[in-house]
């Protein structure tokens, strides 16, 4: 289904983590709530001590952070641009393209992409699935394409070789948002050397649980990367935040431990939600991703589950009414596992 969208979207995209809304709707205080409405790891990288001078001085260019990122992501250091969260890169990139163009955007996915391209005056054409994206590119209906791989919240994952082939056939850029790719076995990074129109976004906010650091990465050899770097100079990054993220990227022992516990927690989540689906809401489809699990299906069933958990002060992310498909995303509970299990159990029995 290809839905041309209006270019004057003015409403800001909604996000998880909106506990203020949870409190307005269901009451309680911030501390009463278990927030499972994002895909941020419940086990954040433990921040190392930060020297007081990092707070005092203006930040130096983030050279050592770029080295650490190049090593962790597996690309040339030259390709790394550090941005204050990958979010800012998402907003800025479309503004750097010379003229209004057409871009393929996932129908369901992190809504900031469509918003940013529309805001910058480009025409967005939505696709659902790789076949529709292929058609848009093959028919030359779009100059650029955005792919979220794996997708949040649909969990869809496109083979990197297929994306590389698509990138070659585009006249413009292919932006691949790999914010949730740390647990994946493949990355588009391996195609950076050969695809000049490839732009990859990575985010230490999810796997490393460092969303508050506001550090993100753009990896590319496209000239847009240089433009973004220039725009962000000087001093757009916090030196203490860069220091913490650099430590996280260099700590391979911690990363191995993190992978293992996320895998285990994800399996547990699938088990628990499968019971809910089987016993109460067989119309729902369960789609697991490492850091979250999404449920797709009828609006009523999803709302019932969302509300049942919210009444027990557990906040999950329900799609916005503007979206054409209904879904519910649930993040990993971490140390609140038993609270989550008890709440699910009581929702099932209710
Ligand atoms: C798919 C995706 N990309 C990018 C981002 C932005 O993350 P950050 O700015 O923390 O790097 C998010 C945030 O939720 C996301 O879900």
Could you list the pLDDT tens digit for every one of the 350 residues in the chain? Answer: 444 444 444 589 999 999 999 999 999 999 999 999 999 999 999 999 999 999 999 999 999 999 999 999 999 999 999 999 999 999 999 999 987 999 999 999 999 999 999 999 999 999 999 999 999 999 999 999 999 999 999 999 999 999 999 999 999 999 999 999 999 999 999 999 999 999 999 999 999 999 999 999 999 999 999 999 999 999 999 999 999 999 999 999 999 999 999 999 999 999 999 999 888 889 999 999 999 999 999 999 999 999 999 999 999 999 999 899 999 999 999 999 999 999 999 998 88
Domains of the chain: 19-43+253-349 (3.90.1150.10), 52-250 (3.40.640.10)
The pLDDT of residue 64 is: 98
Nearest-CA residue for ligand 1 atom 5 is 87
CA of 86 to the centre of ligand 1 (A): 6
> What pLDDT sits at residue 66?
98
Q: Is 293 within 8 Å of 282 (Cβ atoms)?
A: no
In this structure, what DSSP letter does residue 4 have? B
Burial of 209 (0-12, 13-18, 19+ CB in 10 A): buried
Expressed in angstroms and rounded, the spacing between residue 211 Cα and the centre of ligand 1 is 8
What one-character DSSP code corresponds to residue 16? S
What integer pLDDT is reported at residue 281 of this predicted model?
87
List ligand 1's pocket residues with C-beta within 6 A.
85-87, 110, 148, 152, 177, 179, 203, 205, 211, 216
What's the gap in Å between 348 CA and the centre of ligand 1? Answer: 32
The pLDDT of residue 10 is 54
Distance 349 CA to ligand 1 centre (A): 35
Q: Give the C-alpha separation, 295 to 329, whole Å.
A: 6
Q: Whose CA is nearest to atom 3 of ligand 1?
A: 179
Rounded to the nearest angstrom, the distance between the alpha carbon of 214 and the centre of ligand 1 is 10
pLDDT reported for residue 349? 86
- Asked if 136 and 145 count as a contact pair (C-beta separation under 8 A), the reply is yes
Distance between CA atoms of residues 350 and 334, nearest Å: 25
Write down the pLDDT at residue 7.
41
Q: Which atom of ligand 1 is nearest to the CA of 148?
A: 1
């Amino acid at each position: 289904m290809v839905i041309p969208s209006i270019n004057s979207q003015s409403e800001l995209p909604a996000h998880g983590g909106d506990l203020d809304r949870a409190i307005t709707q269901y009451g309680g205080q911030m501390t009463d709530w278990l927030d499972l409405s994002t895909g941020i790891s419940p086990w954040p990288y433990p921040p190392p001590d930060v020297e007081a001078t990092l707070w005092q001085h203006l930040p130096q260019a983030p050279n050592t952070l770029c080295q650490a990122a190049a090593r962790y992501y597996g690309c040339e250091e030259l390709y790394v641009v550090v941005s204050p969260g990958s979010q800012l890169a998402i907003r800025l990139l479309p503004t750097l393209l010379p003229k209004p163009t057409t871009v393929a955007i996932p129908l369901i996915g992190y809504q900031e992409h469509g918003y940013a391209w529309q805001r910058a005056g480009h025409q967005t054409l939505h696709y659902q699935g790789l076949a529709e994206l292929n058609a848009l590119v093959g028919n030359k209906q779009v100059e650029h394409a955005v792919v979220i791989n794996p997708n949040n919240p649909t969990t869809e994952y496109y083979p990197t070789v297929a994306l590389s082939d698509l990138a070659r056939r585009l006249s413009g850029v292919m932006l691949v948002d790999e914010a949730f790719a740390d647990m994946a076995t493949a990355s588009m990074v391996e195609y950076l050397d050969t695809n000049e129109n490839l732009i990859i976004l990575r985010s230490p906010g999810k796997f490393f649980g460092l969303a508050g650091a506001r550090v993100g990465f753009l990896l590319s050899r496209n000239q847009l990367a240089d433009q973004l770097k220039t725009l962000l100079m000087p001093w757009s990054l916090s030196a203490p935040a860069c220091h913490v993220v650099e430590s996280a990227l260099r700590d391979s022992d911690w990363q191995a431990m993190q992978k293992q516990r996320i895998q285990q927690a994800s399996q547990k989540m699938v088990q628990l939600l499968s019971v809910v689906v089987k016993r109460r809401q067989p119309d729902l489809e369960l789609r697991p991703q490492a850091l979250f699990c999404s449920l797709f299906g009828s609006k009523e069933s999803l709302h019932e589950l969302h509300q049942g958990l919210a009444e027990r002060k557990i906040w999950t992310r329900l799609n916005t009414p503007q979206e054409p498909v209904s879904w519910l995303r649930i993040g990993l509970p971490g140390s609140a596992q038993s609270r989550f299990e008890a709440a699910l159990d009581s929702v099932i029995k209710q």
